[in-house]
Structure 1
Amino acid sequence: MTNLLTAHELCAALQLRDLSDPGQGPHAMQILLDEVVEALAPTWECAVDVQRRRPLVAVEDNYDRLGYSSGDIVRDARYSRYAAETVMLRSHTTAGIPPALRRLATDHRHEPAADMLLALPGLCYRRDSIDRLHVGTPHQVDLWRITTARMHDTDLMEMAGLVVEAVLPGARWRAVAAKHPYTETGLQLDVETATGWVELAECGLAAAHVLARAGLNPERWNGLALGMGLDRAVMLRKGVDDIRLLRSADPRIAAQMLDLSRWQSVSAYPSIRRDLSIVTGSADAELLGGAVRTALGAAADDLESMSILSSTPYEQLPSAARARLGLRPDQVNVVLRLVVRPLGGTLTAEQANRLRDDVYAAVHEGPNWEWATRCDA
């Protein structure tokens, strides 16, 4: 396996604050999570088991025991963060479900409780694009009802409605078909916002093969499964339009992240735009975003967005341009646009140029280096 995390990268990932964990300081995310759990458990009159599992997980639990195929593209080290051959930083909180089910199957103290809500919140680690809605370390929660009572599609829709109402009271929502390797009758839940429909969560009936692999007899046990992005849920509830605000240390912002009241905008700092032309093997916004976050570290938070303006393959470029770029047939010429807007202050033009140059160094794979021409907004 290639592209294992370095010791520095792993340490930085494990030190990142989990906003969903009360033990790491208060945050609005914890209040919202409590409201969701409190909407489900009393309705079902079931026991609740909140588990905060470690982010380093077995690859088998993250993929194999959930039903992912051996050749699934999400396993690629370009998308997942591997610490070793068999250990990775979880790419979703669903990775905690197989061990949670195994514990349920072997722990005789749970035997009298034939109806259990498993709640597994925490940080996940991915390669993702850079914009106002995405981050490489999102927070998620998996909510699985495991019961001996037979669950049906109507129970799944009830769960969906309870979760949506808890997150966005009174919101219109819809369920569209979706496929997950660990559910049956999979659904994607969208909520209507002022700018259109936005995905909130995904759910389905717990797949029999996941239960069986954990030691729970599917003839007796079944359940409901729902996964939700907590960052997106908090942003929708509070009306926040930039995911970076959830972690901001600016006192004007941080004070508003302690409750679920509507977000009140603070004075915005002006943005600076920089365009640059790079040579790369893949015009994939998620891979490029992951490379930039890794290279810049904390400085990546100064980027409001990084978007692909154009992507031109080798055969569509004139020979002079190919030679100037040093482009190979298996590479593409990508023009990136950076929008630099720190949350806690402003950058000088020189500082913005240095940030642009650092991004260029992180993603440009060509033999010839051409620092981008400044392009002020």
Structure 2
Amino acid sequence: MYLSPPSVAAALAVRDLSVPAAPAGDEPPHALALMLDAITAAAVAVSGGAPHRVVRSSPLVSTRDNYDELGFSADAVTRDRRYSHYVSPTVMLRSHTSAGIPAVLRALDPASDRDEVLVLPGVVHRRDAIDRTHVGTPHQVDVWRVCAPARRTVDELLALAGALVEAVLPGARWRAVPAEHPYTFDGRQIDVWHGGEWLELAECGLIDPGVLRRCGLDPRRWSGLALGMGLDRAVMLRKGIDDIRVLRSTDARIRSQLADLSPWRPVSAMPPITRDLSVVIGAGEDDETVGDRVRAALDARVDDLESVAVIARTSAAELPAAARARLGITDGQVNALVRVVLRPLDRTLTDAEANALRDRVYVALHEGPHAELIGA
């Protein structure tokens, strides 16, 4: 039900690549840190040079700040333990950097005059699918402009969005599509035209009065703009990277290209190895929960997987009696066909290595009494 102490320690040890390297260190800033700098500078410039703060905090947050204070409903699907990492009934690993906003707002003097840009970057923790664009520990940044007594407007919101699009993808076409978010009103989804299609880059809106009120600020006096985006996606779009594993690669050929925001030059094209697994899993499992189970089981070797996806499922009731007996499947379970694509970034796996990884994925997922392992 809750994360074990070793799991919490491992989560807190995940390096935040948006943190600039120490001035005396030999390692240059990561492209994620450079992108954060560009986004911060653009937000300050479009706000007329308003004061700004970069606020970094622990990934451990109260469940109340992650959800309740931001206006998430009690039955919001994102609260489900299938998607969020809970440490206790009241503490969790943040699922978005917006979780740091309530503490910042509560610390403000309600009677003060203010026009300030708040930048909250960091690693967030989610149960997510395993594929080329998803990871369980992505980087995000929230950019909020908080003001009193001046009133911020939708025009200023769109100006902020446009400035951040320009910082991420100079000269890109973009659009603002109406969208709803728990902690904003007049919300928008910001899409950019890239590679011949519209891709979501950010979400934004005017700060919801309920958020201000719950944090001790009078919404008749206070207002502001709220915008959040994925830093990983921003860097991948800017550099033309199509595999999120690249961002944390330790391969020297790859790391040398992650010290700037210039276009990506593919290092190699390793051949994929595909393994299809027939496993028994719970009827409620999906790509996100399957991905999280595999990620936990493989630990550091998870980066050898390009993707893990459930491509077909058959309930126990739909199976012939002989198949049910062979699988040992029961009501409430399904027979799932899971496709595993193995492709490390820097080398080709041997058949023996591929089979060993296949078996580890199988053991992590299969809930039936009979195992079908192929490794030596």
If the length of structure 2 is used for normalisation, what is the TM-score? 0.94
Which one-letter code corresponds to 1:8 in the other structure? P
Deviation at 1:364, TM superposition (A): 1.1
What CA distance in whole angstroms lies between the structure 2 residues aligned with 1:146 and 1:372?
A: 58
What CA distance in whole angstroms lies between the structure 1 residues aligned with 2:308 and 2:129?
A: 7
Give 3-state SS (helix, strand or coil) of 2:35's partner: helix
Deviation at 1:159, TM superposition (A): 1.4
What CA distance in whole angstroms lies between the structure 2 residues aligned with 1:341 and 1:365?
A: 26
Aligned residue in 2 for 1:102:
106
Deviation at 1:30, TM superposition (A): 1.1
8 Å CA contact retained: 1:91, 1:125: yes
Matched, 1:347 2:349: yes
Cα 1:372/1:21, change in 2 over 3 Å: same
Deviation at 1:350, TM superposition (A): 0.8
What CA distance in whole angstroms lies between the structure 2 residues aligned with 1:185 and 1:369?
A: 53
What CA distance in whole angstroms lies between the structure 2 residues aligned with 1:314 and 1:214?
A: 50
Q: Flag structure 1 segments of 5+ consecutive residues without an equivalent.
A: none
Matched, 1:337 2:335: no
- Give 1:29's match in structure 2, choosing from 24, 32, 41: 32
8 Å CA contact retained: 2:303, 2:344: yes
What CA distance in whole angstroms lies between the structure 2 residues aligned with 1:255 and 1:313?
A: 48
- Deviations along 1:273-292, one digit per CA (max 9) or x if unpaired, are 11101111134100100111
What CA distance in whole angstroms lies between the structure 2 residues aligned with 1:174 and 1:311?
A: 38
Cα 1:173/1:372, change in 2 over 3 Å: farther
Aligned residue in 2 for 1:140:
140
Matched, 1:229 2:230: yes
Which one-letter code corresponds to 2:255 in the other structure? A
The equivalences for 1:242-281 within 5 A come to 242-281=243-282
Give 3-state SS (helix, strand or coil) of 2:368's partner: coil
8 Å CA contact retained: 1:277, 1:372: no
Structure 1 stretches (4+) deviating beyond 3 angstroms? none
**What is the percentage of aligned positions where both structures have the same residue?**
55
Deviation at 1:195, TM superposition (A): 4.7
- Deviations along 1:244-278, one digit per CA (max 9) or x if unpaired, are 00010000000100100000111222221111011
8 Å CA contact retained: 2:46, 2:159: no
Aligned residue in 2 for 1:310:
312
Deviation at 1:76, TM superposition (A): 1.7
Give 3-state SS (helix, strand or coil) of 1:159's partner: helix
What CA distance in whole angstroms lies between the structure 1 residues aligned with 2:162 and 2:198?
A: 16
Which one-letter code corresponds to 1:92 in the other structure? H
Give 3-state SS (helix, strand or coil) of 1:105's partner: coil
Aligned residue in 1 for 2:153:
152
Matched, 1:87 2:70: no
Aligned residue in 2 for 1:9:
7
8 Å CA contact retained: 1:283, 1:332: no
Deviation at 1:344, TM superposition (A): 2.4
Which one-letter code corresponds to 1:67 in the other structure? G
Aligned residue in 1 for 2:123:
123
What CA distance in whole angstroms lies between the structure 2 residues aligned with 1:54 and 1:273?
A: 38
Aligned residue in 2 for 1:43:
46
Which one-letter code corresponds to 2:10 in the other structure? A
Aligned residue in 1 for 2:168:
167
- Deviations along 1:345-367, one digit per CA (max 9) or x if unpaired, are 22211111111111111111122
What is the root-mean-square deviation in Å for CA atoms of aligned residues?
A: 1.7
Q: Please, which moves more after superposition, 127-136 or 183-192? A: 183-192
- Deviations along 1:76-128, one digit per CA (max 9) or x if unpaired, are 2221111122111101000000001111236x8xx35x211110000000000
What CA distance in whole angstroms lies between the structure 2 residues aligned with 1:16 and 1:283?
A: 26
What CA distance in whole angstroms lies between the structure 1 residues aligned with 2:256 and 2:337?
A: 38
Matched, 1:323 2:325: yes
What CA distance in whole angstroms lies between the structure 2 residues aligned with 1:372 and 1:279?
A: 17
What CA distance in whole angstroms lies between the structure 1 residues aligned with 2:181 and 2:373?
A: 43
What CA distance in whole angstroms lies between the structure 1 residues aligned with 2:289 and 2:46?
A: 42
What CA distance in whole angstroms lies between the structure 1 residues aligned with 2:251 and 2:32?
A: 18
Q: Please, which moves more after superposition, 294-303 or 359-368? A: 359-368
Which one-letter code corresponds to 1:98 in the other structure? P
Deviation at 1:210, TM superposition (A): 0.6
- Deviations along 1:165-187, one digit per CA (max 9) or x if unpaired, are 11111111122222211111121
Which one-letter code corresponds to 1:233 in the other structure? A
Q: Flag structure 2 segments of 5+ consecutive residues without an equivalent.
A: none
Deviation at 1:66, TM superposition (A): 0.7
Deviation at 1:43, TM superposition (A): 2.2
What CA distance in whole angstroms lies between the structure 1 residues aligned with 2:202 and 2:67?
A: 19
What CA distance in whole angstroms lies between the structure 2 residues aligned with 1:233 and 1:313?
A: 40
What CA distance in whole angstroms lies between the structure 2 residues aligned with 1:161 and 1:317?
A: 54
- Deviations along 1:324-374, one digit per CA (max 9) or x if unpaired, are 11222211111111111111222211111111111111111122222379x
Cα 1:372/1:161, change in 2 over 3 Å: farther
- Deviations along 1:139-189, one digit per CA (max 9) or x if unpaired, are 000001101221222222111111111111111112222221111112111
Which one-letter code corresponds to 1:30 in the other structure? A
What CA distance in whole angstroms lies between the structure 1 residues aligned with 2:211 and 2:368?
A: 45
